[in-house]
Structure 1
Amino acid sequence: MFSNRALLSASRATATASSRVVAPRAAFTSQIRNYAAPAAADSKPPVALYGLDGTYASALYTAAVKTSTLDSTAKAMQALNEVYHKDAKLGTIMLAPTLSAEDKSSIIAELQKHTGGVDKGDTVKNFLEALAENNRLGLLKGVCEKFSLLMGASRGEVELIVTSATQLDGKTLQRLETAVSKSSYVGGAKKLKVTNKVNPDILGGLVVEIGDRTIDLSVSAKIAKMNKLLTDTL
């Protein structure tokens, strides 16, 4: 996994962020354009994603389709996503805003140990280098998650994540799945991949995530809105 040296470098970088500005190298300009180029009709991502991590995930999808490495890229990104769950240090290291060029190279080399065997054409390696050049390695976790959404959509799947304060029973989940499957966003030709997450902090109600959309029906959200209304009124 990631060494204590890398973690220490990340901590130092975070501490000096306010006094140090890193300009992206000119070489990155042409490199990122390859990922941000307009997609051909047959390489267009199956669903629209939002946020900077969504933009990068969509660009990676397009690049993988154009180079006929979509399957291997999906496996490599899944491997990277699993690393986040296994190594608690990774998030801290990747979010450091002023990593040196040596630090970035070390991080990419470490990540390649998990992807090298399946990363045909070095699609993911090149993508990681592009992220590093633009000081965007901190987006990688979100990119992995959103790339998974794109792959699911390409297979005709739409991920439905239902977060509740306590575990929902099968009958309730089935009713939610039936209701959501009739929505225009899902469409009759697609299938839902349903996951129930438990988060006691929402107090009650549900938070429903469909693909890249979120519907917050939680008690905690209603209380927050009520508190804001009372505060604004007073």
Structure 2
Amino acid sequence: MGSIFLSNSLNLIRQNITIIPKLSRGFASPAPVKVPITLHGIDGRYATALFSAASKTNNLNNVESELKQVKSAIKKDAKLSNFLEDPSLNRNQKKLGVQELLKQGKYCDTTKNFFQVLAENGRLNETIKIIDAYTSLMAAHRGEILVTIITAKELEPNLLDKLKITLSKSKFVKPNQKLRIENKINPSILGGLMIEFGEDQTIDLSVASKITKLNKLLTDVI
């Protein structure tokens, strides 16, 4: 499946760049479309430009769905991931590779244009970050707030449901916002959990954090 996607998706990008000509060179030009939140950094600028292009062509949801497919393929296919990250490949090689990758995929022109621009600008290594940034824009567009619960082991669905009810009453969640819960696994926290509200607020209830605080306390006392 991954290799099929690789051969399909490495081709999507030689095709049309007719949506927004200005973005074909930079894809970071100021977006005339009003975006729901302001994102910074390279990933934020590209995601904002993509949101603008998708909004103008009424493809916001289609682009989001297609980007999720691409992200899933990257996560599953080591060859594809290595291709995007490989700094030894020049831009022409990346362009040809992406053209081959997306050749047989049924993607909208906005998505095709996006990957073409990433290849031309040497930003394919930022693909996952940009996709995540676009997902954040879409969540804000729908009035959602992403709440990421980080645990050492995957949480049971019933516990996630209970946490969602509790977190919906948090001061970090506005009355008109809808929660979108994600459970990420990070064994290094040892136990407990960390809760991230969007990109601004974090509650650290991890065992690792408690150990760090205890060590600091002991060091200060000694």
With normalisation by structure 1, the TM-score equals 0.71
| Counterpart selection for 1:152 from 123, 139, 154 | 139
Residue deviations 1:93-125 (CA, integer Å, cap 9, x gap): 2112242244212321233146x4131xx2122
SS at match of 1:117: coil
RMSD value over aligned CA atoms? 3.3
Cα deviation for residue 202 of structure 1 reads 0.8
Q: Say which of 31, 34, 39 aligns to 2:31.
A: 39
Q: CA deviation at 1:233?
A: 11
Aligned counterpart in structure 2 of residue 75 of structure 1, from 49, 65, 84 = 65
Match of 1:161 among 148, 166, 172: 148
1:124-178 per-position Cα deviation (integer Å, ceiling 9, x unaligned):
2222122222221100011122222222222222221211123445665455434
| Counterpart code for 1:186 | V
Determine whether 1:202 maps to 2:194: no
Letter in 2 for 1:220: A
Residue 177 of structure 1, aligned match among 153, 160, 164: 164
Partners in 1 of 2:141 and 2:132 — Cα distance? 15
Mapping of residues 1-80 of structure 1, within 5 Å: 1=3, 2=6, 31-33=24-26, 35-40=27-32, 43-80=33-70
Amino acid at match of 1:94: L
Runs (5+) with no aligned partner, structure 2 = 11-20
- For structure 1, the residue ranges without an aligned partner over 5 or more in a row are 7-27
1:24-68 Cα distance to aligned partner (Å, 9 max, x none): xxxx986344x333333xx32222334422222122111211233
Q: Would you say the 8 A contact 2:151–2:185 is kept in 1?
A: yes
In 1, Cα distance between equivalents of 2:160 and 2:54 = 35
Tell me the percent identity. Answer: 40
- Three-state SS of the structure 1 residue aligned to 2:116 is helix
